[in-house]
Structures are given as C-alpha cells and as structure tokens.
Amino acid sequence: MEKFEVIVVGGGLAGLSCAYLLARNGVEVLVLERGDYAGAKNVTGGRIYLNPIRDIFQELFEKAPLERPVVREGTTLLARERSLTSTYEGRELIEKPPSSFTILRSRFDRWLAEQVEAAGAMLLTKTLVSDVLRENGAVTGVVAGGDSLRADVVIACDGVLSLIPEKAGLGAPGQAGGYAVGLKEVIALSPEKIEDRFNLDPGEGAAHLFVGEATKGRFGGGFVYTNRESLSLGVVLGIRDLMKEGPPVEAPDFLDDFKKRPEVARLFRGGETMEYSAHVIAERGYGGLGPFYGDGILIAGDAAGLALNLGLTVRGMEYAMASGALAARTILKAREAGSFSAEHLALYRRLLEESFVLKDFENFKYAPEILENKRFFRYYPEWAGALFRDLYGVPAGPKEKLFRTLKRHLPTSDWWRLAKDLKSLMKL
C-alpha cells in the first residue's frame, strides 16, 4: 500500500495553496482532483480580494493570470418595472498594487496547479476519493479510484459538499438553509466593448451586483464581473427560499430572466456564451462552522464552510487560500513534533482564530440571519424604484412637494419597519 506524508483531497484554491507551501518546505504531497484538470469543477462569481493574503503568496500574485483590477463598484436595486443604481469609485481602488481582481478559476487554478507541481508535489486528476481509511479513530489515508492510499495526514479541500468530514467522524452534512446555488455564464466580449459599456480605461475592471428582482424577491442576487475578454454573469439563490417560496421557478429560469432585463442585457449585447456552470455555495455563517480538525485530518476552504455573504461582498477565495496556508503551517509544526494527532493539529483552529478568517466570521456572525429578511429583496427595491420615479418625474400638472412625496412613499406605519431593519444592520 503506497504511503505519502500528506494527501490533499481537492485541487481547488485551498488544496493547491496548502500543497504549494508544503512542497516548498520539502514535504511529500499528493493532490487528488476529481476533475479533468485543476479548476475544471471550480466555479466562482469571479472576484478575489488580495489584501488579506498578499503577504502569504506575494511571489505568486506577481505572476498569476488574474483578469482585471476592480476600480468601480456598482449596485442596482432591481424592481419589477424599474431600477436604481449606485456607483462607487475611490482612490483606494486605483492605488497600486490593486486590492482586488476579477478572476477565471479554470485559468487561474490550472496555472496554480503548475506552480504546485513545479514545487515538487504530485497531482493526480480524474481521481475520485470515495472514502477515508481509519485506524483506532484516526484518519490514516483515503480510498481513491478503488486504491487505498495511506498518509500521515489528510487535508479535506474537496468543496462545499465534501463527505470526508462525515466519513472521518467529524460531522454530518449541513441543511438546505446553510447553502445557496450559483448559476453562471462566461460571455465573450471584446475588451473595447467591455471598457466602453462599463466606462473603464484600458485594462481596468468593474464589479456590479443586483438585488431584488434578480432573484424575484428571494434571498440572493445577481452579478456581473468584467474579465479581460469576457463577462462573468450569474445569479446566486438561497436553496431554502428556492424550495419554499412560491410560485415555483426552476433555478435556470432565474438566470434567463435576469439576462433579459434591459439593465443587464445591454451589458453583454453581441457577446457569445463560452461557459455555463452551476455550483453550491456555503452560507452557514459563524454558527454553522463545524470542526476543522481531527486525528490525522484537517479541513480547509469550502469543505470547512469558509464562505461569507455580506450582501455587497461575497467572499470565499481568500478564505480558501488562507486556510490552506494555515493548514500547511500546522502540518509543518506537527511534522517537527512527530505527531499528527488531534492534540497537535488543534493548532490549526488557533491559527484560524488569530487570522482574519475566523475574526471576519465572528464579526459578521449575524449576517445570515439579517440577510434572510425578505424586505431587503422585495420591499426596498420596489420602494426605492417608486420613490425615485416620482422624484425624477415631471407630471402634466403641478409637481408634488418633496416632503409630501417622501411621506407618501414612507408612511408613518412603515417607519417602525425601517427602524427595525436599520437596527438589525447595525449588527454587521
């Protein structure tokens, strides 16, 4: 039976980051990826925030195939018949080095896998891990492609629907309320058209989010990100809302209807769809995070539930890379001690708590609860659209006084709802 020091399950950002740092430190690492290549099954909206992880992977980001630096943020409240858009630009968005980039995972992950192999790790693709090996309660390897492979320690980085933690005796799969589904298209468009339609200088990028009718008033939203020669366009839907809210709508129909909106359609007009993908996203929040380690095993990235939806920002990639790096650091310490027991691997949890990763989750632990408020997705987009319709509009007769317009759109009976919602947002 073949034996390795470390087996990494999953060739995504968490697994590749961990393998890269371990291999550079002389550790024998095997990465098992079920896709045809690293990045083949990895789906993301398309934006990575570099500031929290730049120091860890400085040499990588200097050469990485990132798409466009984001210099403009857009948000649209999408009502049934109208919309209201705000745009943010700031000095910090154009400073060097850029704080965030759009990204195509299929391109970036393949490149990162090459760096991992160059560092000395072994990567096997088209390899499905079906089970873990255990002795006396400790994980001692995995079953992959019908073969048993042993290791001193296993790193579960195989995505949000990973069954490895459960098979290792660390927890059961989450419930529907802890997940969302993302549907995405990559649409080819010339750089000139991208820059013209998003009011960008050559090489610059934009990120635009849509709330409200993008998900027909359900929890979630739409997005458009600019790549070098394409747009990443899609919707994210809370699975619980998708299952319970009526009338029933098939998930792909949300994306089709989103693309038909004039506010969206004009952005990709004349483009050609290159890719279509769907992906489950963790929406568990701080309270839904399970154990991160056990005897002979660590869990990182999406497999550990490390994705955070704050409404205007949805983050996961930097958490994946950071958790992979901290897992590598933990393994190096355990290797020095000559033990991969839970006692020695507990350092991983402490490192996560000391880093921005779990500090972010702690700071925004109420975000999932707050974002379940349907008024943010139904009432407020319609209210804002109707209010600004009357503020901007000029009728045939005399125009109503501003105060009367505001009072009519927000009667006294609704003030308490607004106050309650503002109070809830103060928890963020």
Which of 238, 255, 282 terminates a domain? The answer is 282
392 and 404 in a single domain? The answer is yes
301 and 337 in a single domain? The answer is yes
Which of 282, 305, 332 terminates a domain? The answer is 282
Q: Which residue spans within 203-332 are E strands per DSSP?
A: 205-212, 220-226, 230-238, 272-282, 293-294, 297-299, 308-309, 314-315
- Report in angstroms the alpha-carbon separations of 48 from 277, 285, 352: 19, 19, 19
pLDDT above 90 for 229: yes
Return the pLDDT at 176.
Answer: 53
Cβ atoms within 10 Å, residue 398: 6
Cβ atoms within 10 Å, residue 108: 23
Return the pLDDT at 310.
Answer: 80
110 and 21 in a single domain? The answer is yes
- Cβ neighbours of residue 55 under 8 Å, at least 6 residues apart? none
Give a yes or no: residue 33 inside a domain: yes
141 and 267 in a single domain? The answer is no
300 and 188 in a single domain? The answer is no
215 and 191 in a single domain? The answer is yes
Q: Are 272 and 307 a contacting pair, CB within 8 Å?
A: no
Tokens 């034996």 sit at which residue? Answer: 3
d(CA 52, CA 16): 18
Domain count within the chain: 3
Provide the residue range defining the domain that includes 239: 177-282
Give a yes or no: residue 56 inside a domain: yes
Give a yes or no: residue 78 inside a domain: no
42 and 148 in a single domain? The answer is yes
Identify which of 329, 347, 340 has the alpha carbon closest to the alpha carbon of residue 21: 329
Give a yes or no: residue 398 inside a domain: yes
pLDDT above 70 for 247: no
Q: List, in sequence order, every residue forming a beta bridge with 102; answer none if it has no partner.
A: 47
Give a yes or no: residue 311 inside a domain: yes
Q: How much is the average pLDDT of 114-130?
A: 96
31 and 111 in a single domain? The answer is yes
Return the pLDDT at 173.
Answer: 56
Specify the amino acid at residue 271. G
Predicted structure pTM score: 0.92
20 and 109 in a single domain? The answer is yes
- Look up the CATH number of the domain holding residue 329: 3.50.50.60
Give a yes or no: residue 367 inside a domain: no
- Look up the CATH number of the domain holding residue 200: 3.30.9.90
193 and 228 in a single domain? The answer is yes
d(CA 121, CA 140): 19
pLDDT tens-digit profile of 328-359?
999 999 999 999 999 999 999 999 999 999 99
Query: What is the side-by-side order of every strand in the sheet holding 272-282?
Result: 83-88, 70-78, 205-212, 220-226, 230-238, 179-188, 272-282
Give a yes or no: residue 93 inside a domain: no
Give a yes or no: residue 89 inside a domain: no
Q: Are 219 and 263 a contacting pair, CB within 8 Å?
A: no
Which of 251, 282, 313 terminates a domain? The answer is 282
